[in-house]
Amino acid sequence: MKKVIHHTGMILLVLFFCANLSAAELLGNIDDDGNVDFVDFALLTARWSDVCFDPNWCEGADIDFSGDVNIVDLTFLTDNWLEHDRKIETIDHAIQFSADQLANTTALVATDRYPRYTQSYASWSTSSASGWTSGFFPGGLWLMYELTDDPNYRTDAQTWTAGLESQKNNTGSHDVGFMIYNSFGNGYRLTGDTAYRDVILQAAESLATRFNPTVGCIRSWDHGVWEYPVIVDNMMNLEILFWASNNGGQAQWYDIAVSHAYKTIENHVRGNGSTYHVVDYNATTGQVISREARQGYADDSTWARGQAWSIYGFTMTYRETGDPNFLDIAVQNANYFIDNLPADHVPFWDFNAPGIPNTERDSSAAAIAASGLLELCTMVAGHNEQYKFYNAAHNILVSLCTSDSNDGYLAEDLNGDPLSLGILMHGCYYHPDSVRGGDGKQDDSMIWGDYYFIEAMLRYKAITPP
């Protein structure tokens, strides 16, 4: 906890205290190591009854900036005693639950079929290898192998990954990035199998064929009424181009990804950090024809998952390029997302959805954002921003890891029994109130939500709180 404030009287002090120290901040963590434990207790007792001054308040032992170290400070410390350890236990429980759910799914789904979402939580709707979501299930199995070291997950991951190889030649979808990078990409990272690398390189070449240099973007969809539609989701599929370019592929794939990201800043990102879903371009002139919603509520609304893709995508693009313009956009996206979340930290399906709070959430948007924020918090320079993004991810994860029967999102009841074939409940693929409309898939388990939830837990366990 950093305390650099001006001592202008008790009232201002209390106002500052309330405004700046959210419940999520670990009061009592005097040495800033992420937990409240005996070290903090020793630091506090060493300064017991001391008179404390701005700016260092007895090296942080005067937790409430009251001017002395007393029973109030001790109460803050005891209230959060081993809180971080408890949160890790919560996440470890969710990892075990996720591992069980994945294993159950491997027993239910044919090896050439790929789960995409549950139907009333009771069965998996699956796709063939060419479905845009096909990479998430093998990807989740790879991440679970990474988390548990259990070779059964590796074997299953290899099986469902192998079935996707034909998609390396798929030039009909920008989602070849999701399909191949989440499966073969994780597989290569964890095994070093060079055959996997070759598949990734071929897939990157296929994706690059969708780039139009006049527009400066990869074309997202081949269907629909648009001339040259580019969706914000497409930011996610740049990662395979960056990776392939750095691992034996063509240098121009890097340039294509950078061009696409800059055009997305120009035309998808609004001044307040929110995002449009679809931008349609004139393929001949490169001019913008329209900015629209599809899975969101309205053209000028902010679709929650699109916003999450943007946070994650620009954070990744900054990691791959070091260009601070991309970091700046990721921060703006993140601030919009966090500042507009409801009390349980999981967004409604659109930040401007009609009927809030009486409409559906999208837990998958929360999971994607949490994973992105856990990377973003390691990239920003200021401690306040690091803490804001870390805490937001932490709060999202605690909510997602709480059982559905206890007002959370994990697909289990209070006895730990599963309530879905998936891991998270209350994902929204598309909503009847969206522009796309129709019957909707507005309350079920989404395979991409489960994938990014597992990735977020992996990232959470790997980083030290700021």
- The binding site for Ca ion (CB under 5 A) comprises 29, 31, 33, 40, 62, 64, 66, 73
Tell me how far, at minimum, the Cβ of 46 lies from Ca ion, in Å.
14
Which positions ≥6 away from 54 have C-beta within 8 Å? 3, 5, 6, 7, 65
Which is the catalytic residue, given 62, 64, 156, 175? 175
State which residue, 66 or 325, has the beta carbon closest to Ca ion. Answer: 66
Tell me how far, at minimum, the Cβ of 1 lies from Ca ion, in Å.
10
Q: What is the dihedral of CA 255, 369, 392, 34, to 10 degrees?
A: -70
* Residue closest to Ca ion (Cβ): 66
Tell me how far, at minimum, the Cβ of 396 lies from Ca ion, in Å.
23
Tell me how far, at minimum, the Cβ of 35 lies from Ca ion, in Å.
5
* Per-residue 3-state assignment (H helix, E strand, C coil) for the chain: CCCCCCCCCHHHHHHHHHHHCCCCCCCCCCCCCCCCCHHHHHHHHHCCCCECCCCCCHHHCCCCCCCECCHHHHHHHHHCCCHHHHHHHHHHHHHHHHHHHHHHHHHHCCCCCEEEEEECCCEEEEECCCCCCCCHHHHHHHHHHHHHCCHHHHHHHHHHHHCCHHHHHCCCCCCHHHHHHHHHHHHHHHHCCHHHHHHHHHHHHHHHCCEECCCCEECCCCCCCCCCEEEHHHHHHHHHHHHHHHCCCCHHHHHHHHHHHHHHHHHCECCCCCECCEEEECCCCCCEEEEECCCCCCCCCCEHHHHHHHHHHHHHHHHHHCCHHHHHHHHHHHHHHHHCCCCCCCCECECCCCCCCCCCECHHHHHHHHHHHHHHCCCCCCHHHHHHHHHHHHHHHHHHHCEHHHCCCECECCCCCECCCCCECCECCECCCCCCCCCCECCECEHHHHHHHHHHHHHHHHCCCC
Tell me how far, at minimum, the Cβ of 53 lies from Ca ion, in Å.
12
State which residue, 29 or 395, has the beta carbon closest to Ca ion. Answer: 29
State which residue, 85 or 266, has the beta carbon closest to Ca ion. Answer: 85
The neighbour count for residue 141, using CB atoms within 10 Å, is 30
Tell me how far, at minimum, the Cβ of 340 lies from Ca ion, in Å.
31
Burial of 180 (0-12, 13-18, 19+ CB in 10 A): buried
Tell me how far, at minimum, the Cβ of 73 lies from Ca ion, in Å.
4
Closest listed residue to residue 370, CA positions, set 304, 426, 319, 437:
304
Tell me how far, at minimum, the Cβ of 465 lies from Ca ion, in Å.
10
State which residue, 64 or 404, has the beta carbon closest to Ca ion. Answer: 64
Tell me how far, at minimum, the Cβ of 7 lies from Ca ion, in Å.
13
State which residue, 62 or 412, has the beta carbon closest to Ca ion. Answer: 62
State which residue, 283 or 463, has the beta carbon closest to Ca ion. Answer: 463
State which residue, 44 or 261, has the beta carbon closest to Ca ion. Answer: 44
Contact 337, 417 (CB under 8 A): no
Which is the catalytic residue, given 73, 233, 404, 450? 233
State which residue, 33 or 299, has the beta carbon closest to Ca ion. Answer: 33
Kindly state the tokens that stand for 8: 């202008």
Residue 233 annotated in active site: yes
Residue 31 annotated in active site: no
State which residue, 49 or 415, has the beta carbon closest to Ca ion. Answer: 49
Residues annotated catalytic, as ranges: 175, 233
